[in-house]
Structure 1
Amino acid sequence: MSAIENIPVVDFSSILAASSADMKTLPAMEELRLAISGIGFVFLKNHGIDRKQVDDVFSSSVEFFSRPEVEKRQFWRQDGKSNHGYTCMEQERINPKNPGDLKESYDLCEKGMEDPVEIKETVTDLYDAFTTLTNKILESFGHMLDLQDPQFFMKAHNKMGLGYKENYTALRTLYYPSLPSSIDVKPGQLRCGEHVDYGSLTLLFLFQDENGGLQVKTRTGGYIDVPYMPEAVLLNGGALMQQWTGDKIYAAPHRVLVPDDETVKERVRQSIAFFVHPDNEVLVETIDGSNKYTPVTAQEDTEKRFLYSYDIEL
């Protein structure tokens, strides 16, 4: 394991290639455990996802987000219980204490929806690749926590594939538009307010992130910048997984700042996130029997968090 500005980097190739029986003793497993239980974020290199699939989604996303607002709103995500569709500028308030976030996004969770053709044509293969990687990570978590059934977490995510309505897992393409000086940025407004992610875990690809902005809050309360590693995927734990594991997997707060530099501020920023959730009916209770957190179903937890984050009346 190596570290770049305090975000650990783990070579995932040995875990990806190992059988379940051989996985636990791999050195990379201990590196992964230390990272995900410590700072809560880790770069995975040699993760098995084709970067061309990622770049194709980035390119198609630019085509969609460059459309006039009236066209994008035909795909608007308006239902507070939905996890599919377009979110416009300032509609999402991921930190309810702040003004609406200065970003746009498109979430893909269900099949059969009327999606933009630009995005629909590129997303399926990447969604499947994310699902394959996620299953291996979930199995890794089972081993690192010495669960009697290492596939316990995998079995709780049976319906995270694209097209299931019984699971809130979604691929989100994020677009942070140019912010010229003519745009009025409100006091306390960020591109994405401080938050911890919902659900089990998040996988994130960054694009053009030499522009910067993503920061992770450390255990001591300070923030560190997340560096740009275009060939790696960034993994972090979700709030529900922290609850499930009795804090053995940590969900770290993070945010995306509005740049101070006017030149950088006018650049577009993009990322792709895969937000992983257990199946809706799964009852999440601490696996160590400590009752540290109140049991909750995955559906109840997610829908409650949606209500905190979205301005449905916008």
Structure 2
Amino acid sequence: MTKPTLVESNEIFIIDYNKLVNIKHEIEPNNEVKKIAKDLREAFQYKKAVFLVNHTISKEDENKVYSLIRKFSALPNPIKEKYKSIINTGYHGYTSQQSERINKDGLIEFKESYNIIGYNRYLPDEEISEFSKTINTITEKLLNISNILLQLFAISLDSCK
């Protein structure tokens, strides 16, 4: 007898975005959506893995973002510093290596990052053409996915009443 796969044993929960793309907040969800919402809640409740498939983020989208990251990372530090994140302004912008502390004992973070918060913020379009356009397109897709997932959570919580 073969051992069941993680999917068969319900250790991994798979959500097919195609089944959810038309969820509307004001419309009563159908039974399939209610079941997905219930299963999603249980997956998170019992620490199972959750995978989202058919989510509209293509490999090409992924490659475009990684390309932007590589291009930005390759810029000279003085140029990157023009886009530096300003404390207490929503964390939008560039954070250089060793500029963040991990804990109160002074352990230093060695990563550099570029946090993008919102649309049409100060982005390095001057140095990297299409930066804003690419980021905004992918951000729109991610927001759509996030909204669907939030609606699923709302449906699952509503079913707990």
Partners of 1:90 and 1:99 within 8 A in 2:
no
Q: Which of 103, 116, 123 is 1:108 aligned to?
A: 116
Partners of 1:73 and 1:86 within 8 A in 2:
yes
What is the letter of the counterpart of residue 145 of structure 2? L
How many Å separate the matches in 2 of 1:55 and 1:7? 30
Equivalent residue, structure 1, for 2:52: 44
1:58 matched to 2:66: yes
- 1:17-28 matches, within 5 Å, as 17-18=22-23, 20-23=27-30, 25-26=32-33, 27-28=35-36
What is the letter of the counterpart of residue 66 of structure 2? F
How many corresponding residue pairs?
147
- 1:68-87 matches, within 5 Å, as 68-87=76-95
More helix by share: 2
More strand by share: 1
The alpha-carbon distance between structure 1 residues 67 and 77, as it changes in their structure 2 partners (threshold 3 A), is same
Runs (5+) with no aligned partner, structure 1: 149-287, 289-314
- Give the percent of matched residue pairs that are identical in Structure 1 and Structure 2: 23
1:128 matched to 2:136: no
Runs (5+) with no aligned partner, structure 2: none
- Shift of the alpha carbon at 1:111? 4.0
Equivalent residue, structure 2, for 1:8: 12
* Runs of 4+ deviating beyond 6 Å: none
Partners of 1:92 and 1:100 within 8 A in 2:
yes
What's the CA shift string for 1:146-180, capped at 9, x where partnerless? 179xxxxxxxxxxxxxxxxxxxxxxxxxxxxxxxx
TM (norm. structure 2) is 0.73
What's the CA shift string for 1:18-71, capped at 9, x where partnerless? 555235544432331122223276221122333322221111111001112221
What is the letter of the counterpart of residue 28 of structure 1? I
What's the CA shift string for 1:198-254, capped at 9, x where partnerless? xxxxxxxxxxxxxxxxxxxxxxxxxxxxxxxxxxxxxxxxxxxxxxxxxxxxxxxxx
Tell me the C-alpha RMSD between the 2 structures: 3.1
TM (norm. structure 1) is 0.41
The alpha-carbon distance between structure 1 residues 79 and 63, as it changes in their structure 2 partners (threshold 3 A), is same
The alpha-carbon distance between structure 1 residues 53 and 90, as it changes in their structure 2 partners (threshold 3 A), is same
Partners of 1:7 and 1:43 within 8 A in 2:
no
How many Å separate the matches in 1 of 2:37 and 2:107? 40
What is the letter of the counterpart of residue 11 of structure 1? I
- Shift of the alpha carbon at 1:109? 1.6
Structure number with larger C-alpha Rg: 2
What is the letter of the counterpart of residue 38 of structure 1? Y
How many Å separate the matches in 2 of 1:140 and 1:9? 14
